[in-house]
Amino acid sequence: MKIAVLKEAAGETRCAAIPETVKKFAGLGAEVAVETGAGEGASIADADFEAAGAKVGSRAEVLKGAGIILAVNGPDPASLNGAEKDALVVGALDPLRQSPNIDAYASAGLQALAMEWMPRITRAQSMDILSSQSNLAGYKAVVDAAAAYGRAFPMMMTAAGTVSPAKVFVMGVGVAGLQAIATAKRLGAQVSATDVRSATKEQIQSLGAKPIFVENVAGIEGEGAGGYATEMSEEYQKAQAELVSSHIAKQDIVITTALIPGRPAPRLITDAQIATLRPGSVVVDLAADAGGNVEGTVAGQNVVKHGVTIIGASNLARTLAADSSALFARNLYNFLSAFWDKEQGRPILPDDDEIVKAIRLTQGGKVVNERLTAA
C-alpha cells in the first residue's frame, strides 16, 4: 500500500503526516511518499521525512499508484490524477461547504473520508481531529488575549503597588473552552465559565474556575446528545442574556467557543454588552468561522468597538502548526491503523461500522453519506 501525503494549499501551515507517523505506517507494511515541502509550515524538512523512511517527490510522483491520500484540507480533485482507483482521500474535507469537490471525488472513483465527522464515541477519541485541534485553539485563544490585553494576567504584589489579576470569562465549555480555562488559570487569572450543558459545571469547578449558570430555566441535562448542544428555547436565551449582562460588565477577557452542529454559532454577546466592558478589555471569538458568538466579530480580524478588542479567531490551530500537525497526523494514523488488515496490507472499512458510516462520503462513484444525500 502506498500512502501519499500532500502539500497543502497556500495559507495552510499544517501537514497531515509527521516523521513519527511515517515510521508507524511503515511498521504496518505501507510505503509513504511525501510531496516536496509538505512539512515546511510545520517546521518539518523534507530530509526529516526521508530520514523516517518516506520518499519525497512531486505531487505526480507521490500520487502514482497511491491507495491512500492524506491531507489536512480537502485537496483539489483535479490535482489527484494518478492515484489508484478507489483510493481513500482522508482529511478535513468540509463536506457541507465543499460539495462540488465531494461530487468530483465521487466521479473520480475516490473514497472520500471526512475526518471532522468522526462520531463522538470512546473508540474514536484518538481519531478525533476536532478535539485535537480545538484543544490547541483553546490554549492559543488565551495566549492571544493576553498579548492584546494592556495589563497583566496574574496578581503581582510589588514595591510599586499591586497589580490586580485579570478576570477571564469562558463561554462554551467543550474541548476548547476547558483548555482555555486551564490556560487562563495557569496564567494567574480569576476564571469563570458558562455552558448550556449541566455536565460542564463539575468540569469547570474541577479546574478551579467558577461556574456561572442560568438557574431558573432548565438547560441541557448532562452531556447532551453525543456531547452536542442544541439551540436553546427563547426563554432560556433571555435568561442567559440577563445573566451574561450582569456578569460580563465585571470581566476583562471573554473567550467564546459556543457551537451548535450544523447551525450558525449562537449569538451570546451583543454590542450593548460589549459597551459595558472596561476599555482595553479583549474578547476572543473562537466561533468566528461559524458566524461568531459576538456581535461585530469579523473572522480573521481584530476589531475595536467601544475600546474593546474583538478578535475574530479563525483556525487558531494553524498558528501552532508543529503541534497541531503532530496531533492531526496521529489522529489519521490512529484511524487507519484501527482498520488495518495485516494480511491484505490495507485498511478494510466495513459498511456497517459506526465510524465508517459517519465519515465515508463517497464510494463506487457515488456520494453515499446520509448527511449529504438527505440534504
Select 43 or 230, whichever has its Cβ closest to ligand NAD: 230
Hey, which residues does 32 pair with through a beta bridge?
3
Which region among 42-50, 67-75, 116-124, 307-315 touches ligand NAD (by CB under 6 A)? 116-124
Q: Is 94 a catalytic residue?
A: no
For residue 103, give the 3-state DSSP assignment: helix
Q: Which residue of 172, 292, 296, 312 would you call a contact of ligand NAD, by CB under 6 A?
A: 172
For residue 52, give the 3-state DSSP assignment: coil
Q: H helices of the chain, where?
A: 19-27, 46-51, 59-63, 99-107, 129-148, 175-186, 200-206, 234-248, 271-274, 321-338, 354-359, 370-373
Q: Which three cell numbers stand for residue 325?
A: 500537525
Q: Which three cell numbers stand for residue 81?
A: 490524477
Contacts of 89 (CB under 8 A, 6+ apart): 69, 71, 74, 75, 80, 105, 110, 111, 112, 113
Q: Is 105 a catalytic residue?
A: no
6 near ligand NAD (CB under 6 A): no
Q: Is 125 a catalytic residue?
A: yes
- Least separation in angstroms between CB 307 and ligand NAD: 25
- Least separation in angstroms between CB 267 and ligand NAD: 9
The pattern of x and - marking residues 205 through 244 that bind ligand NAD according to CB under 6 A reads ------------------x---xxx--x------------
Which residues between 250 and 279 bind ligand NAD (CB under 6 A)?
Answer: 257-260, 266, 268
Select 258 or 283, whichever has its Cβ closest to ligand NAD: 258
Which residues between 37 and 56 bind ligand NAD (CB under 6 A)?
Answer: none
Full 3-state SS string of 183-248: HHHHCCCEEEEECCECCHHHHHHHCCCEECCCCCCCCECCCCHHHCCCCCCHHHHHHHHHHHHHHH
Select 143 or 260, whichever has its Cβ closest to ligand NAD: 260
Select 57 or 339, whichever has its Cβ closest to ligand NAD: 339
Q: Is 131 a catalytic residue?
A: yes
- Least separation in angstroms between CB 126 and ligand NAD: 9
Residue 112's H or E segment, with its range, is strand 111-114
Q: Is 314 a catalytic residue?
A: no
Which region among 43-51, 55-63, 127-135, 205-213 touches ligand NAD (by CB under 6 A)? 127-135
Annotated catalytic residue within 98, 111, 131, 337: 131
Which region among 35-43, 120-128, 317-325, 340-348 touches ligand NAD (by CB under 6 A)? 120-128
Integer Cα distance of 191 and 170 in angstroms? 8
CA 89 to chain centre: 19
The pattern of x and - marking residues 176 through 205 that bind ligand NAD according to CB under 6 A reads xx----------------xxxx--------
CA angle 127, 68, 91 (to 5 degrees): 45
Annotated catalytic residue within 59, 105, 128, 134: 128
Give Cα separations from 162 to 152, 277, 363 (angstroms). Answer: 11, 22, 64
Size of the site for ligand NAD (CB under 6 A): 31
285 near ligand NAD (CB under 6 A): no
Instruction: Indicate left, alpha or beta for 82 from its phi (over 0: left) and psi (-120 to 50: alpha).
Output: left
Residue 364: Cβ-neighbour burial (10 angstroms; 0-12, 13-18, 19+) = exposed
Q: Which residue of 78, 100, 122, 342 would you call a contact of ligand NAD, by CB under 6 A?
A: 122
State the Rg of the chain over Cα: 22
Residues forming the active site: 120, 125, 128, 131, 228
Site for ligand NAD, rule CB under 6 A:
120-122, 124-125, 128, 130-131, 134, 171-177, 194-197, 223, 227-229, 232, 257-260, 266, 268
